[in-house]
Structure 1
């Protein structure tokens, strides 16, 4: 066997070490290549994103900014509603009525037939029942005056209370009913209920944001709903829903804020928390159509009260329906107030006004130009003022003189 020389062994050792070193170096190089490849790809992606942001900066910022704007708008609207509700709730009340109901008799049966299974009733008794029927709001803290609808407190024999947002109850000691509009003033012997701010209904715009607060369905107190002013200057006939009295209301505010019978008499408010209307009616058989009496009508009644100590207003004494210019042209009659009925003993009756007449002018002022119709013009006059009235009867125009009387006493 031939043994390698020492020089050959040394040479072989050097080549073996070089191979190992080469192997290790190769692995390192391959690793660096892999890192370089994938690292470069990742870097390319990062650079690509950076370039995309530089090329299309709007795309990166549009969505977040838009979302912020929408969120801020929603937040502002929510804050407005919350602020209005918190600010006015102490001034909004629930109107409740207490009536007497026949208590059902208690019966004692003879289970063993000792008395022929006869029913033995106890003596029947009357029991008071209290029910929430409407809403209202405080307009004078010191005098304890509260506005609501006349139809909410229509019963002359019932006892009424108002209930604050803290469930504290106050007895109604006097009621003033407006003979012209569906309005009533309640008086309580307490000065703790804060008055609400009254706005200006003449400055309202269609589309304006509104808030309604009241006792929804006569059950859910201080319900808050929102909407917009859907229309202005509407004329409606409001009934009690039972086939009873129907009342014509002119120049009312239309809104899509949810209003129901329990909201009657409650406030319709602007975004500042000021009352701009008194919720009065809903359109039968429809949704999101409610109506409110402009607050400036209430202001006129309050002004008369502060001046005379009564809520009396000039009272003509007619039931009427406004005839629009379009309807007048179609029927070949003048525009104005069509008299449906004349109240016996009223100023209109004494002046000779008859059912079927059309009132066209009062002291030279045309009714077709009056935004609020006949009631608006009558309210601009004084009690006991003499007024010239132009009417259309049987195809002829004539003039009557009427002495306006105070509204009928409607206080209890």
Structure 2
């Protein structure tokens, strides 16, 4: 059964609590650097206080204007719930204003109305809240129109702000009234200083306006003010706040000429005609146009026709394969269209918008030569994507005119809006365009769907692609077709409902039956001796993790594994590569054969797992069982490091064991698996730090230890630390024997994390000399005891042992080696400890460790919930509940309303919940769009209450449970 995980692992999923920062869209609307907050006059919320606030901060002539306007201005809180075109999933806030109170229409920016799926609400000045959805977002210009139900505003009179684009002029005194820097409502004063600024370029790979003038002012707006009305003193809007610069107190306003036209069509429930010839124009002053070849006579004619003009329109970008590509060139100076002189953007667009599907005569001048062309105008909406495909964990759409224009490429190809899952391609960077799948061309999304729906699940297929940032370099990669974890469905925009309607594109053809393949290993330099044969016992291991659980920070990992039983197909691999059971594991033998594997064992404290493959699938390939030594690795031993480096190429080096000691891997603020209670082997070669994994072998080629990468802490810069260390092979052999007998290993011990303490420190803690003598007698090589660093919250052990207890002996044996804590057989042991300088003898219960941990995951409102995994229990003093927030997806309700990772949920709508079953019973049947009151407790045990508005259309509630009988080992269950 397909699982259909609703939140792909490579998607923008947050594992760490987010800082309360400026809204993400605020950064996009500013240019030349990060957003800076402007100075704003904040309006008091109570309506009866408005007059005093206005009189204190505004000239008297503006007081009445603003008092009337504020009832039409709204704060917009919204999410784009999925990556689409140039935009990533995001949550932010902005401003809008009512332009039609009867029909419930709000004007705001395009980057607020979102190119992709939108969820949001508008909050009016009296704090009434209504749902809003886009009914129009312009394909090019930075404006969109949202709709709400006017009947739901019950406590205030709705007003609207009229649009008056013709009133804008240089020197006009204005007020920008909106949600500045996240404040409820602020008033910023300024005056228009320019009417003919070319549209600002914010950055590559994001939305940029074009083919329009922008107005310029110095109002010092900042994040959250996007969509604010620019008011004249008569109360009408003369422009729409859109962007700004951080190098100066400069703001950019969108003129309202084309906005007013579009609004009339929307008010009549008609589509808004928009035409294009796929050409970007820019306005250049006469001195620059003359350098492009404008003749003196033409300039004289234009100046005479338009006495106030200072420049003309010049073709800046002409897209290949577009309507104008066979006629226009960059640098062409536009003279006239259909016999009428054109020097501004408004008449240019008036003619194009009224001529969709018709030919328009362009008169241009190129190097002083007059040329005339008849160019057929294309429907701009036809090259503006209105659908996306969910496939293999990624989101794909037809490339847009927006992106094609920025990089001057044809408007064709399938764009990877969210590079996740099987279409992560060459890393997480954005900008990939897929040109073919399985050697079949994919010029558009329809062709892509037709190709992909015939590909069996798990089939390995070639994908050709290139980066929009480097169109010269073509790339190809082979990926496994993934249809069992994630959906294969099409989302199409519906401007009537405001939702994107999903269509399931059907099940995939079943996976092909795997057949045995035989290969040979490459011949290596025999100077490596017996160690060279170990490469026939090594394989590459890769894992795809479809959901972020247990705090693990990656969605893909790759490294090396060691075949420890070729007859049964057992492979030992580090838990930094295979951290848990949810996911797809693949093994590559001899760089030739790729076969699946299943996890069979995870060590709860040591950094290794064991996976199993079908030995029949490697045919007669000479895969060998690695010879495992029955001797323990010692300090000073000469060993051979036999490993795969970071490029997964075989390397080997003769070296020496420099130290074997108990180490403590630093823990991360987001709890995730880390090795504890183990002796780390270090070696005398820098090559070890460059290897993903391998083995430490003696001169006869017998394996003394595993060389592994260990996941450590997350740094302040957001990077995950990794350590490269060895562990003795005896940890693996003890488990292997049980697996070879067909049984599941059962490990029992004290549920604690310990750290070594030298005798000098132990003495200072009150250790008596007789114990020092016993330690020296018990271990001639190392004189340490172990301090309880952490106890596992909720365990039987934690009820007796406490943090900072110094363990002296267990069952009468002095414990001086960390491996002596492993595999206790008895359910209760006698432990002698030193606590607060007092020696105590305790009967301490042991626990049977769960070697799999998380077996059930709930996806709710964009959050990932499961029972606290062992790393959480080790880092916590208490468990407020068994409902732990592991991650949340950007753009989801969980992200929008601040349900943080590492929190616990303890109540839903006032009802206490302790287990996942309790939670499911509380959220089952809750209607879409309703608010859910959730009580949470932070990782630092600080309680709080948040309200989360459900968006079940995009974020349905479901659970995924471990079911070994299923093909993937996991089964999805929908929760209605």
CA contact (8 A) 1:304 1:313 kept: no
Deviation of 1:155 after TM superposition, in Å, equals 4.7
> What is the distance in 2 between the residues matched to 1:153 and 1:190?
19
- Where 1:237 maps in the other structure, the secondary structure is coil
Aligned to 1:233: 196
Aligned to 1:46: none
Unpaired runs of at least 5, structure 2: 1-54, 83-88, 296-310, 387-492, 494-976
> What is the distance in 2 between the residues matched to 1:280 and 1:152?
10
Summarize the Cα distance change of 1:390–1:200 in structure 2 as closer, same or farther, 3 Å threshold.
same
Aligned partner of 2:176 among 194, 212, 225: 212
Summarize the Cα distance change of 1:160–1:199 in structure 2 as closer, same or farther, 3 Å threshold.
closer
Aligned to 2:235: 273
Aligned partner of 1:328 among 286, 289, 298: 289
Aligned to 2:117: 157
Pair 1:339-2:315 in alignment: yes
Superposed, 1:9-408 pairs within 5 Å as 78-98=59-79, 131-191=91-151, 194-217=158-181, 219-239=182-202, 244-248=206-210, 250-287=212-249, 289-306=250-267, 309-333=270-294, 336-343=312-319, 347-349=323-325, 352-355=327-330, 357-368=332-343, 370=344, 372=346, 374-375=348-349, 378-379=352-353, 381-393=354-366, 396-408=369-381
> What is the distance in 2 between the residues matched to 1:354 and 1:307?
38
Tell me the alpha carbon deviations over residues 142-180 of structure 1, each in whole angstroms, 9 at most, x when there is no partner: 222111111223351342322222222222233411123
Deviation of 1:372 after TM superposition, in Å, equals 4.3
CA contact (8 A) 2:97 2:161 kept: no
> What is the distance in 2 between the residues matched to 1:316 and 1:336?
18
Deviation of 1:385 after TM superposition, in Å, equals 4.2
- Where 2:212 maps in the other structure, the secondary structure is strand
Tell me the alpha carbon deviations over residues 293-339 of structure 1, each in whole angstroms, 9 at most, x when there is no partner: 22233111123334561223333332222232121123434764333
> What is the distance in 1 between the residues matched to 2:246 and 2:346?
23
Q: Could you tell me the TM-score, scaled by structure 2's length?
A: 0.29
Considering fraction of residues, name the structure with more helix: 1
Summarize the Cα distance change of 1:99–1:315 in structure 2 as closer, same or farther, 3 Å threshold.
closer
Summarize the Cα distance change of 1:154–1:259 in structure 2 as closer, same or farther, 3 Å threshold.
same
Aligned to 1:45: none
> What is the distance in 2 between the residues matched to 1:245 and 1:131?
16
Deviation of 1:87 after TM superposition, in Å, equals 0.6
Structure 1 vs Structure 2 CA RMSD: 3.3
CA contact (8 A) 1:347 1:403 kept: yes
CA contact (8 A) 1:212 1:258 kept: no
Tell me the alpha carbon deviations over residues 367-402 of structure 1, each in whole angstroms, 9 at most, x when there is no partner: 33x3747435545x3444432112345664322212
> What is the distance in 2 between the residues matched to 1:171 and 1:294?
27
> What is the distance in 2 between the residues matched to 1:280 and 1:372?
18
- Where 1:156 maps in the other structure, the secondary structure is coil
> What is the distance in 2 between the residues matched to 1:331 and 1:356?
7
CA contact (8 A) 2:314 2:333 kept: yes
Summarize the Cα distance change of 1:313–1:352 in structure 2 as closer, same or farther, 3 Å threshold.
same
Deviation of 1:192 after TM superposition, in Å, equals 5.5
Summarize the Cα distance change of 1:246–1:293 in structure 2 as closer, same or farther, 3 Å threshold.
closer
Tell me the alpha carbon deviations over residues 33-85 of structure 1, each in whole angstroms, 9 at most, x when there is no partner: xxxxxxxxxxxxxxxxxxxxxxxxxxxxxxxxxxxxxxxxx999522333222
Unpaired runs of at least 5, structure 1: 1-73, 102-128
- Where 1:311 maps in the other structure, the secondary structure is coil
Deviation of 1:346 after TM superposition, in Å, equals 5.3
- Where 2:262 maps in the other structure, the secondary structure is helix
CA contact (8 A) 1:269 1:277 kept: yes
> What is the distance in 2 between the residues matched to 1:290 and 1:265?
12
User: Which of the pair has more CA radius of gyration?
Assistant: 1
CA contact (8 A) 1:251 1:373 kept: no
Aligned to 1:117: none
CA contact (8 A) 2:71 2:124 kept: yes
Deviation of 1:90 after TM superposition, in Å, equals 1.5
CA contact (8 A) 1:266 1:279 kept: yes
> What is the distance in 1 between the residues matched to 2:261 and 2:286?
28
> What is the distance in 1 between the residues matched to 2:151 and 2:216?
33
- Where 2:265 maps in the other structure, the secondary structure is helix
Summarize the Cα distance change of 1:130–1:385 in structure 2 as closer, same or farther, 3 Å threshold.
closer
> What is the distance in 2 between the residues matched to 1:220 and 1:276?
23
> What is the distance in 2 between the residues matched to 1:205 and 1:237?
19
Tell me the alpha carbon deviations over residues 86-113 of structure 1, each in whole angstroms, 9 at most, x when there is no partner: 2111211122223679xxxxxxxxxxxx
- Where 1:221 maps in the other structure, the secondary structure is coil
> What is the distance in 1 between the residues matched to 2:278 and 2:80?
32
CA contact (8 A) 1:142 1:191 kept: no
Summarize the Cα distance change of 1:344–1:306 in structure 2 as closer, same or farther, 3 Å threshold.
farther
> What is the distance in 2 between the residues matched to 1:329 and 1:352?
21
- Where 1:81 maps in the other structure, the secondary structure is helix
> What is the distance in 2 between the residues matched to 1:353 and 1:374?
15
Tell me the alpha carbon deviations over residues 8-50 of structure 1, each in whole angstroms, 9 at most, x when there is no partner: xxxxxxxxxxxxxxxxxxxxxxxxxxxxxxxxxxxxxxxxxxx
Summarize the Cα distance change of 1:204–1:86 in structure 2 as closer, same or farther, 3 Å threshold.
same
> What is the distance in 1 between the residues matched to 2:104 and 2:225?
21
> What is the distance in 2 between the residues matched to 1:141 and 1:260?
27
CA contact (8 A) 1:319 1:341 kept: yes
